[in-house]
Structures are given as C-alpha cells and as structure tokens.
Structure 1
Amino acid sequence: MSGAPAGRAVAWLPVARPLTLVPAPPPEAAAAALGTVWPALRRALAGDAPLAVLPAGAGPADAARAVLRPDRPLEPGTDLVVVTSGSTGGGKGVLLSAAALRASAAATLGRLGGPGSWLLALPTSAVGGLQVLVRSALADREPAVLDRGEPLAAALARLPAGDRRYTALVPTQLRRYLADEPDALASFDGIVVGGAATDPALLARARAAGVRLHTSYGMSETAGGCVYDGVPLDGVGVRVAEGVELTGPVLAHGYRLDPAATGEAFADGWFRTRDAGSLAADGTLTVHGRLDDVVISGGVNVAPQAVEAALREHPSVADAVVTGRPDPEWGQRVVAGVVPAPGAVPELAELRPWVAARLGAAAAPRELHLLDSVPTLHTGKPDRRAVARLHGGDQ
C-alpha cells in the first residue's frame, strides 16, 4: 500500500482537464452537428469534458487553434471556450462555465414563455448557435437543424407538433425569410434575433407580419444574449459608464491565456463592453453601436449601423455595410458598400441626400462600392474590416 509518509500533510493539486476540440460542420452539412457538437456540448454541460468548437474552414479553424492552445493547461472552472470573431482585431478565447451557460439558457426560456423545441439556424462555433443547443439540453429536447439553402418551412416541419417552437437568427436571415417565407417565420412561438443590430424598420415589418420577435443583446462574454428587448434577463445587471457594462451569473470568467485582457475587461464582477449605450428612466437599454466602429467625419461621430439602416430602406438597396476611410479634409469619410436590389443600380448622388435627410449631412456616404453580398464573420456579423480592406480603407 502506497501513501505519504506518516505525519506529513499531502496537498492534492487539481488535474488539468484537456480541452476537446470539435470542428463545426460546414453550412451545407449543418445537420452533422447533431452527431458531433450536440453530444460534446452535453458532456461539457455535465462537467465531463471541456469543449471548444472550431469554425468551419481551414483558415478560421487554424486561427481558432492558435488562440485556444490546447497543449496548455486549461483555466480552472472552464467548461466551454468560445473563440470570438475578432471583428475589431485578433480573436479571443472566452472562458465559460457550465453554470453560466445554464443560467443564461434558463433565464432565456423563462423570458420566452417556457421550454420548447429549437431549430438551430446559426453556426455552432459561435455563442448564438451554442446557446440554441444549451437551451435544448435544458429542455431535454433534441434540436432540429437548418441546412444551407433549405426552406425554413421544411426544417420547421421537423419540430414536434404541439410543442412551443423557437429559433435564433441574425438580422440578415430575418430579412431574407421575411421576404421569402413570412408564414414560416410567423409560425414560431418565439424568435431571438441578435448577433448584430437589427434595423427598427425591419423589426416593424416583421412584427406587422405576425412574427413574434425578441431582440437580443449580448456577446460570448455573457454566454450569449442577456438583454432582451432592452430589458435585462433575470439576474443580469446593466450600467453605462464609458460604455455598456454587464454583470450577473451569465458572465465568463476571463480570456484564454490572456490575464491582461481579462483584467481590463472584467473587474469587480462587471464586464466592460466596447459598446456605446444609454439607459432610459425605466432601465431599458438602447445600444448605439461599437465605440471602436464610430466614424468621425468633420468632427461628428457617425454610427455605421445607423447609416446602414437608412441605406437598407432605400428602394435600390438590398443590404449595406458602412466603414470609415481616412480623408485629408474630413478626417474620415463615410464609405458605403451596398448590395443592389434586383434590377437596380444605386448611385451615390441618390443615396447621399437620402441618408442626409434622415441622419444629417455628416452621415451621408462620400464613397460608394457595389457588392455582390456583404462579407460576414463566422458568427454571421458583418465583417467591416474585410470590407474596409476591399476598398483600401482603414476603419
């Protein structure tokens, strides 16, 4: 029988748990997530095997591995690591506990009206898609999965009849399905739309069509959406200082192998976002956009999201993304990349007064580029840095 010498205390050190890396299936084979990501996520929630889901594609997956460093010991208390999209620079590995994930999912189900069956329509490498799986696990239901190009109604038919039916979408998906399959959208008991700002006009059209929408604000560091329709989920606190700050049981406990970034973003139980926002007297939060996305033109702060929303309402524009570019006279000029509406050819001369009438002259684009589609990150968010590089600009 072996053991420590008599009279000597033994200090047992925790054994570092290895990080399981699971590749997300490509969008055209999204249903494969049920055989790979779904069981791995359930094991992570049980505390059995910490998980990170790699984005689809060799380049994004390699970049995620470089952030994750699976050869290094994993930070204690971590059950899931989500690699952020890096829309404002290099991505980070966000350290989440099973408790934070469950707290977010439980509060979301409570806000939506109770457990139900979920349709997975988002990538499982992003927190929005992963939370669809967490909510499904808490409800003890296997989700259905929407493959790329599949009609929404066909996927919806795979959800159990008689159960509450939910899904989560990014604004681009909402816009597309509202145009093509409004009846399918309206048949859900609740749709969470997040990942990027949603135009008020799009929300109004969807609700007028009978779609039961909930706007969601949050990020990987808050285990997904934690403010719904401007109102924090139960247990979540919000305050606004330089930017929006969040607290509650949904918070991550830091960044993978980056104590400096952890100390800067997480302090005294609060997470400091890089989003500008304001709180109404009743505590409702309005988010105005990323602090580091702001274009300063002629000394005026211009929010790209507001310009994009205005452009999308023009009859010649199907979609839009806005960036800034250095300008010798204005400091920065507003640059618009637009996807033309079918049969239309948008021109700067018609778009400038359209935006100026709604947001002021400083917000009117001074440069226009026509796009086949808006480049996106693996999370579904617009990739502004990629657009700026395409145009030779510098956000």
Structure 2
Amino acid sequence: MNIWFGQKHISFAEILAGKWGEVDDYQRQILDFCQQWLGGQRVFVRHTSGSTGKPKPIELRREQMRASAMLTGQALGLQRGMAALIGMDCNYIAGTMMLVRGLEIGLEMHVVAPTRNPLLAIDDVGQIDWATCFSALVPLQVQAVLDDVVSAERFGRLHCVLIGGAAIGQGLLERLISAETPTLYHTYGMTETVSHIALRQLNGEAASERFIPLAGVELALDGRGCLTIRGPMTLGKLVVTNDLVELASDGSFVWLGRIDNVINSGGVKVNAEKVAAALSKVLGNDRVFVVGLPDAEWGEAVTGFVEGEPMQLPTLAGLSRYEKPKQIHFVAQFSLTSSGKVDRGATVRGVLDG
C-alpha cells in the first residue's frame, strides 16, 4: 500500500524506513505521523478544533484510535486495496483518523493539502480507483465541490463520503439527499471520541434522520438530557457531552442542539439551532449562526449572523416572538479556526468591535 502526493507515491515500508525523499512541510508532518504509527507508537496528542471553545490538547491511545478506524471500516464496508482521498487537515483528529484507517485497513491513500475544494487539487486523477474510493469532508468543502462542474463530477464517482465537523445547512442537505451517488453519511463525534461514534446516511434507500451508533457504542442521557458515550474508542470510559438529543431505545438518536447554545431570552429558553435553521431557509443561505448576546431588556438577545451581502429579511414563519432575532448582522466573511470551521467567537467579536 502507498501514500500518494500527486504523482509521487511512497510505500508503507518506505515510510517506516524513513525513505521518502524530498517533501514539503505538510507532507513531512503526515509522513512523520505514519512512521510513528507503523513503528508502534502507543500515545498521540491532537488538539480539539476550537469550534466550541479554545483548542485544547487531547491525549489519545493507539488502542482507541485503532478501534475507531476498524469500526468505521466495518460500517462502510471498507476493504484492503480500496482507496481514500484525504483533503482534511491531518493535524486534527478527522484528518488523522483518515490516515489511521488507511494504515490499519490497507488503503491506497491520496493526500492533498487542505483546501476549500480538495477535489480540484488532485493532480493524479488517473491514479485513483474512484469506484472504491472513500473520503471525508466538512460541509463547507462539500458545498464548494458541488458548486464546481469538474469537482462535482468527480464527487459523484466516489464510493462513499463522510461529512462532519459542523451541522449541514438546509440548502446543502437538500442537495445531498437527492444525490444518487456517492453514498453520503453525516457523522457525529468529537476529538474526545476519536472522531465519529455514529453515522446518519443522507441518501439512498437507507437514508434516515437518525444517527446510528457504531458497533459496541453505548449511549445514554444524563440529568440534563445530554448524550453520554461509552465504547471501544473511549476505552470504556464515559464521555459526557453538551449535546441535547432525542434518544431511542435502539440507540439511534436525533441531534437537537447544544445545551450551551440555548439562549435564555426574557425567561424563555430558545434553541439557537432552530432559529438558525429558520434563518437559513428563508435566506437560502447555509452560512448562518445564532447566539445570545447580553441585553438589558431580554437578558440575552437572540442575535443572528449571516455570511454575505445585507438583504431584506423575509418573514420568519414558525418562530415565536421570543425566538425571532432581535438583530441580524451580515458579515462579508466569517472568521475560521485553523481547522476550517466557523469561529463564532472571533466572528462575533469582529462585528461588535467594528
């Protein structure tokens, strides 16, 4: 098996031996990790993405990373000799786990530097076995891929794609649900659970609104109604989340939002995700988020942030007077974390300080 950087390919044996010749800094970081993995290193440190707080280092053990990789391979039907297209930053857990899946299952890995549209960055198109190739992307990347004719055609030839790292906006979701190929999965997980612990198929006959946990994952609710997780990828330890879910007896669940994204406006609890979804729908724009900002009258004022040019806001049907935003800010471009996710805190500060 090999890692491909464009036309250059390096076998797993050459990686272990450190025989990879001239490479750039990002490629060297990837090869260093792969060499450590192939050499049997037991502990690795990765940082959280920073999308829900300040990035922090997380120590992960080889056993839990391998368990996650093999369970994903089982769920997706990945087999030795298939291919993986890796366009996420491998310094963060989602990209790292793409490498681990490739190393453990035995996949031909095609790596491109992280960019908004990784399917346009490929210069070894003919080397990829598209019919057996799987990939993982964030929603922002998927949107860019589908908006380009060339990359959209390549996307349709993939075997399957994991989409995670953020909620999928309604407009993009509708496009994905109607896609015939590839098979698409929305993921649920975090760095602490070594990427995803559950998958929701978005298209095809098995499409569902519910996330299905990977084999061996035990889910429950704590006293707040938030999800708790225990499984092979947590080494049997309980992980307590701030995610509100509707949990069924079979372990499947619907994600409702984060408890720390609940806004107390005038004494009424408002779900920020619900308001953001309503805004996204009427504006036809998935680049939306909603937060509560301090307010003398309401305690917290429901406030929307929209990426794009200012426009007249249509009527927001289905929202109570407490849920309707008291103010909406249009921002030319959201601030992003180093892993490419929307940095809500920096975006809000930029607007308020401006």
Equivalent in 170, 189, 214 of residue 138 of structure 2: 170
Which ranges in structure 1 are unaligned for 5 or more consecutive residues?
1-30, 50-77, 253-267
- Match for 2:147: what amino acid? A
Answer with 160-169 or 331-340: which moved more: 160-169
Q: CA deviation at 1:91?
A: 2.8
AA at the equivalent of 1:141: L
- In the TM superposition, what whole-angstrom CA distance separates every residue of 1:55-88 from its partner, at most 9, and x where no partner exists? xxxxxxxxxxxxxxxxxxxxxxx51111113444
Cα pair 1:316 1:345 within 8 Å, conserved: no
Structure 2 residue 206 is matched with structure 1 residue 246? no
Aligned residue number for residue 342 of structure 2:
382
Matching residue of 2:186: 215
Q: Note if contact 1:165-1:189 (Cα within 8 Å) is conserved in structure 2.
A: yes
Letter in 1 for 2:89: P
Q: In structure 2, do the counterparts of structure 1 residues 88 and 151 end up closer, same or farther at CA, with 3 Å as the change threshold? A: closer
Question: 1:233 — aligned with what?
Answer: 214
* Counterpart in the other structure of 2:54: 90
Matched, 1:345 2:345: no
> Which sections of structure 2, spanning at least 5 residues, go unmatched?
1-22, 201-210
Where is the strand percentage greater, Structure 1 or Structure 2? Answer: 2
Partner of 1:9: none
Label 1:32 to 1:304 Cα distance change in 2 as closer, same or farther (>3 A): farther
Residues 170, 286 of structure 2: 8 Å contact kept: no
Give the partner amino acid of 1:319: R
Question: Is 1:370 the equivalent of 2:337?
Answer: no
- Structure with the greater alpha carbon radius of gyration: 1
Cα shift at 1:154 = 5.6
3-state SS of 2:128 partner = coil
SS, match of residue 274 in structure 1: strand
Distance change (3 Å), C-alpha of 1:275 and 1:173? same
CA RMSD of aligned residues (A): 2.6
SS across alignment from 2:136: strand
Question: Mapping of 1:196-345 within 5 angstroms?
Answer: 196-211=166-181, 212-229=183-200, 230-241=211-222, 242=224, 243-251=226-234, 269-315=237-283, 317=285, 319-340=287-308, 345=310
- Secondary structure of 2:335's counterpart equals coil
More deviation, 179-188/127-136: 179-188
Amino acid at match of 2:136: A
The residue that corresponds to 2:156 in the other structure is 186
CA–CA separation in structure 2 for the residues paired with 1:388 and 1:311: 17
Preserved CA contact (<8 Å) 1:246 1:272: yes
* 1:81 alignment counterpart: 45
Change in CA separation of 1:149 and 1:173 when aligned onto 2, cut-off 3 Å: closer
Match of 2:63 among 76, 99, 105: 99
Tell me, in whole angstroms, the C-alpha distance in 2 between the residues paired with 1:173 and 1:162. Answer: 18
Q: Which amino acid aligns with 1:96?
A: L
Contact 1:169 1:192 in 2 (8 A): yes
> Is this contact kept in 2: 1:276–1:290, CA < 8 A?
yes
8 Å Cα contact 2:130/2:159 also seen in 1: no
Counterpart AA for 2:269: N
Paired with 2:146 and 2:174, the residues of 1 have a C-alpha distance of 11
TM-score normalised by length of structure 1: 0.72
CA contact (8 A) 1:47 1:79 kept: no
Cα pair 2:169 2:286 within 8 Å, conserved: no
Aligned to 1:120: 86
Q: Distance in 2 between matches of 1:207 and 1:139?
A: 29
Shift of 1:250: 0.4
Identity across aligned pairs (percent)? Answer: 29
Q: 1:149 to 1:83 in 2, by over 3 A?
A: closer
Distance 1:309 1:380 in 2: 21
Deviation at 1:168, TM superposition (A): 0.7
| Preserved CA contact (<8 Å) 1:321 1:382 | no
- Partner of 2:70, secondary structure, is helix
SS in 2 for 1:306: helix
TM-score (ref. length: structure 2): 0.79
Aligned partner letter, 1:250: M
Q: CA deviation at 1:335?
A: 1.5
Which secondary structure does the structure 2 equivalent of 1:373 belong to? coil
Whether the 8 Å contact between 2:163 and 2:185 is mirrored in structure 1 is yes
Cα distance change of structure 1 residues 234 and 373 upon mapping to structure 2, 3 Å threshold: same
